[in-house]
Amino acid sequence: MDRHGAPKTLKPELLSPGGSLEKVRIAFLYGADAVYTSGKDFGLRGFAHNLDSEELALATRIAHDLGKKIYVAVNIFARGRDLVKIEPYLEYLNELKVDGLIVSDPGVLLLCRQYAADVPLHLSTQANTTNGLSVRFWAGQGVSRINLARELSFEEISGIVAGSETEIEMFVHGAMCMSYSGRCLMSAFLTLPGAAGAKEEAANSSRPPLENRSANRGFCTQPCRWSWTLVEEKRPGEFFEVEQDGRGSYIFNSKDLCLIEEIGPLARLGVDAFKIEGRMKGALYVASVTRAYRQAIDFCAGLSSGDKQPWTMDLEKISHRPYTKGALLAGQSNPGVDVETQISYVQTHTLAGLVRSGRGPDEALAGGDAGSKIYLEARSRLVPGQRLEFLNPDGSSFFHELSSFEDALGNRLAQAHPNTLIRFCVDFAVFPFQAVRVSNGAGAQTCTESLELGGAMM
């Protein structure tokens, strides 16, 4: 029996990121039980694509048609000027009947109770919930689910879950912030007018105003990923030798969280939901990580059998920093060092493209039959001779040697550029939004996605 007196389940909800409508579809396709996303404002991911009002409505319909759930992040730490704008937005989300609102600010929570009274409230990890009494407090404020702080050990999580009547959620994978549950002020201070780098930021008109470059308002510049040196107050210009390599010291640069090996023990504690970080990350990340954790959860719940190796292989084939289990195993022998001394990502594979039906962005989820010509929207430069891997939701893959291809009009091509549509034949069935990856070569590494993929909190 679980802590609520019901038969214990070993199958927590799998919650995946949906930074765009496309990635919402992909997350559901590859096994997410629920997706968390955001509107254009108030969601702590100002540089993600995010969803406009029509896309939020469509995403909600897609989720409910599939019998799944969608949660919307309204987890900004609001200033006074935000509160008036939030009210009609909450009323709209209430009309859509989304399945949860993710909040961190007590003032926003009060507004949610007033203007979106029919929607369950989920507490963000930004609220730093680290003990059972805090869980009880937030439950008294009407919160039905709490995402715990990432600083907790296995023993601490166990104690909180055992004593809680509230649903407990936790992050199991993704980027981490060096500050306490993401409550960081470095970006805000380093982008003030007159600060180093502020002039360059101001010159980029696509960025928000400088005074809004705060992690707590969704516009983190990720200074924890920069290379740092130290200088002593009375010795200006004399830099201390703290370099970890020739490029500098990345003393604030956390490794990425990966708890796939701990899914079974955590599920047995009674954790209600496992959450994957990454609303700013790409389609290949969403597909690969979601299907890996889907397979792991189903295996631990006794719903599938097979080899665990494909799970870890999927996670190694996405762009990532070296992995860590974070604070989960604190106090145990050799838990690993959490600071990563390299700024570049490990990236052995790239998103080759997504399968399309050729009928436009609202295509139905039905694909081409084996032996027929398929449409692929290239997301990388493709040339004949590359070996493409088509990812299936069940954890398997189909492979295809790209010998020749043509554009949508039937013209033979020598190469395909990103964001172009190509056609070619395969000998297996495919489906729209299927992710296709291609190897970069053994041991390849790159930091080209670092600006897009950084950031830690949802």
Residue count (the chain): 458
- Residues 175 and 318: their CA atoms lie apart, in Å, by 13
Low-confidence ranges of the chain (pLDDT < 70): 1-10, 43-49, 178-235, 237-253, 330-345, 358-371, 442-458
Output the pLDDT for position 338.
52
Contacts of 168 (CB under 8 A, 6+ apart): 135, 145, 146, 148, 157, 160, 161, 270, 271, 272, 273
Query: DSSP readout, 66-130?
Result: TT-EEEEE------HHHHHHHHHHHHHHHHHT-SEEEE--HHHHHHHHHH-TTS-EEE-GGG---
294-308: pLDDT as tens digits: 999 999 988 877 777
Residue 402 neighbours by CB distance under 10 Å: 20
Q: What was the pLDDT predicted at 79?
A: 83
| Angle 297-300-302 from CA coordinates, rounded to 5° | 110
Bridging pattern class, strands 387-391 and 397-401: antiparallel
Helices (H), 354-455: 450-453
CA–CA gap between residue 161 and residue 126 (Å, rounded): 19
Query: 10, exposed or middle or buried, with CB in 10 Å at 0-12, 13-18, 19+?
Result: middle
How far, in Å, CA of 44 to CA of 53, rounded?
Answer: 17
Contact by Cβ (8 Å): 357, 363: yes
Take residue 167 and report the two structure tokens written for it: 């649903």
Instruction: Say whether 162 sits in a helix, a strand or coil.
Output: helix
Structural tokens at position 366? 């039905």
pLDDT of residue 431: 96
Q: Pairing relation of β-strands 167-174 and 121-123?
A: unpaired
Per-residue pLDDT at 362: 47
The DSSP line for 191-253 is TSTTSTTHHHHHH-TTSPPGGG--GGGT----GGGS-B--B-TTSTT-B----SBTTBB-TT-
Strand partners for 350: 438
- The three-class DSSP label of residue 161 is helix
Between CA 192 and CA 285 the distance in angstroms is 33
pLDDT given for residue 7 in this prediction: 44
**Which residue ranges form the domains of the chain, and what is each CATH number?**
13-180+254-346 (3.20.20.70), 349-439 (2.40.30.10)
Q: Which two tokens stand for residue 83?
A: 């509160």
Handedness of CA 218, 219, 221, 223 (dihedral sign): negative
Q: What is the pLDDT of residue 223?
A: 62
- What does the alpha-carbon distance between residue 378 and residue 450 come to, in Å, rounded to a whole number? 21
Task: Return the structure tokens found at 353.
Answer: 């493209």
